[in-house]
A = this chain, B = another copy of it.
């Protein structure tokens, strides 16, 4: 319990689900498991897990991670605010990079270290829970674009879609 957070674990290996349950019980208030990602979308809609732990390989013998990547994309498209941590037995840098670029919150390899897994899941939840004031998002973006324009305010204002004077005011 401890924190009122829940986790959805999706893996086709029952032993992994059991191990995950043991590892994560006491840390999360609710642990939901699925042995196949088919019902992932409906389950997430029902359970609203704080984080999803998704295995990448389901079809036995297929270890390209294609299927996990597809599910990652599908879930992330439907629930962009739910962090998804991927897990795979086949450590593949290419795959990990692609996963992160496709919206995965993190990527861990089997066999996992329990403490690390817990830390990663907690981090993912924390990061997803952060809320940034609108003004901060605005000024950060303004500064970024201004940088890219090497200080040229006219061009920066143009790219930002605001008037030159407004940009001038925003940076006081």
Contact = CB atoms under 8 A, between A and B. Distances in A.
Interface string A107-133: 101000000000000000000010111
Contacts of A97: 96, 100, 106-107
A80 B147 contact: yes
B148 A161 contact: no
B107 A93 contact: yes
A160 B132 CA distance: 7
A81 B144 CA distance: 7
A91 interface: yes
A15 B102 CA distance: 34
B134 A81 contact: no
Copies of this protein in the complex: 2
A117 to B, nearest CB: 13
A92 interface: yes
Interface in A43-93: 80-81, 91-93
A138 interface: yes
Contact of A141 (B92, B132, B162): B132
Contact of A138 (B134, B145, B147): B134
A148 B131 contact: yes
Given A96-B97, A131-B148, A131-B159, 8 more contacts: A92-B93, A94-B109, A97-B100, A134-B162, A135-B161, A137-B137, A137-B138, A138-B138
10 contacts: A80-B144, A80-B147, A81-B148, A93-B96, A93-B107, A97-B106, A131-B148, A131-B159, A134-B141, A134-B142
